[in-house]
Structure 1
Amino acid sequence: MTTEYGSGAAPAVPPRRLDARLNRERLVAAAREVFAEAGPGASLNEIARRAGVGPGTLYRHFPDRTDLLAAVLRDRIETLCARAEHLLDARDADDALRRWLHDFLDHARANQGMGGALLVETASAAGDPDCRRRIVDAASGLLDRAQRDGTARADVTVDDLVHLVVGIALSTTGGEPTGPEPPRLLELVLDAVFGGPRPDSPG
């Protein structure tokens, strides 16, 4: 029996390779949950258990904890970038930027002890040198549109926004339960972003 090529049909994925891919996806999904609950020092055996695989399968995909943390970070960044792409088509440019920055803040605070600095600044050390650049590019597209079609002040830069959100995440992760609410702090920042420069502002 011969196999015809060029018919447009994608080659079938070997069952073993498909199983390995599904196991990896399950492990990353389980790791997101467990790290969010217990921090980056969470039990790897618990992650394997929730993924429905054995510890040996986990270590075949992720030889050490850093590899698994890096995979979780990349997965979160993929989600953020996809969200930004979706919001570029939103009718209200200001609201799109506001909603994405709140999403970014949620992601930056999602894991106890991981915070925004690990997500944005050390993700490259965890295995993906483009992680920070991808976040900056996602924010840049939304900011550019809000400056062009909305009311975002022209002197705000994307680095300003990223550092402000990271600062809120770091200052409120693991803090006092009676401290300021992170979304409220971000809204105060956004009031300045959309308020325009004051007459007495430098420059």
Structure 2
Amino acid sequence: MRNRERIVAAARELFVEFGPDVALDDVARRAGVGNATLYRNFPDRAALTHEVVLAVTSRTTLRAEEAAATESDPFAALSRFVHAAADERIGALCPMLSGVFDKDHPELLAERRRLEEAVEGLVARAMSAGRLRTDIAVGDVLVALSQLTRPLPGIACQGIDRFTHRHLQLFLDGLETPARSELPGSAATLEDLRRP
């Protein structure tokens, strides 16, 4: 693995474990490179954070596309994606998105659009097949996924991640038709998520 990839992988792990403000010296140490190598590849925290967000988003998009391509049952494809996105630690992006980097960078916006389109496709197919309740929208899936997979750095609840897939499955069971209750409020759309 090239140094740049090792640094991004190490940063992703440490951001998940300790939050986005982890010392860059720790990232270099985890990656098995010197500080000079880290700074040669990433001149500052913003550049490294940009690359981590891009990598996680891209890998999550690939998981959505793989689920759509390999699962014949549309709800199984959605479920597979949700669990795969949890394994990618998509929820770890949330604290990073409030950091000091360009969230509107064209590269990040393009990758976010790819992810949104892939998830929209999964949701639309499951809904068309009558397997997904119709009072939700793709934003509901993304919000729940983000909330249920967000790490809690520095808490005393070590090992809490072992419950992630269990709680995601409870969420998925609530999405499947027939609906067992009426949801309050309105469905969360992508437009709702983009509003400040």
Does the alignment reach a TM-score above 0.5?
A: yes
Further displaced range: 97-106 or 80-89:
97-106
Change (3 A) 1:200 1:62: closer
Q: Deviations over 1:4-28 (max 9, x none)?
A: xxxxxxxxxxxxxxxxx93322221
Change (3 A) 1:30 1:126: farther
2:192 corresponding residue in structure 1: none
2:90 corresponding residue in structure 1: 108
Change (3 A) 1:120 1:47: closer
Q: CA RMSD in A?
A: 3.4
1:8 corresponding residue in structure 2: none
Determine helix, strand or coil for the equivalent of 2:22: coil
2:140 corresponding residue in structure 1: 160
Q: Percent identity?
A: 34
Q: 4+ residue stretches of structure 1 with deviation over 4 A?
A: 119-124, 198-203
Using CA pairs under 8 Å that are at least 6 residues apart, name the structure with larger relative contact order, 1 or 2: 2
Measure, in 2, the Cα distance between the counterparts of 1:75 and 1:116: 11
Q: TM-score, normalised by structure 1?
A: 0.69
1:28 corresponding residue in structure 2: 8
Structure 1 gap segments, 5+ residues each: 1-20, 110-114
Change (3 A) 1:166 1:52: closer
**Which AA in structure 1 matches 2:176?**
F
Measure, in 2, the Cα distance between the counterparts of 1:145 and 1:121: 32
1:125 pairs with 2:107: no
1:62 corresponding residue in structure 2: 42
Greater Rg, structure 1 or structure 2? 1
Q: TM-score, normalised by structure 2?
A: 0.71
**Which AA in structure 1 matches 2:103?**
A
**Which AA in structure 2 matches 1:43?**
A
1:173 corresponding residue in structure 2: 152
Structure 2 gap segments, 5+ residues each: 187-196
- 8 Å contact 1:140–1:158 — kept in the other structure? yes
Change (3 A) 1:52 1:150: same
Change (3 A) 1:162 1:32: same
Measure, in 1, the Cα distance between the counterparts of 2:156 and 2:56: 26
**Which AA in structure 2 matches 1:182?**
T
**Which AA in structure 1 matches 2:152?**
T
Change (3 A) 1:93 1:121: farther
Shift in Å, 1:200: 6.2
- 8 Å contact 1:124–1:132 — kept in the other structure? no
- 8 Å contact 1:121–1:132 — kept in the other structure? no
2:116 corresponding residue in structure 1: 136
Measure, in 1, the Cα distance between the counterparts of 2:114 and 2:78: 16
2:167 corresponding residue in structure 1: 185
1:73 corresponding residue in structure 2: 53
Measure, in 1, the Cα distance between the counterparts of 2:3 and 2:59: 19
Shift in Å, 1:162: 0.9
Measure, in 2, the Cα distance between the counterparts of 1:134 and 1:121: 21
Aligned residues: 177
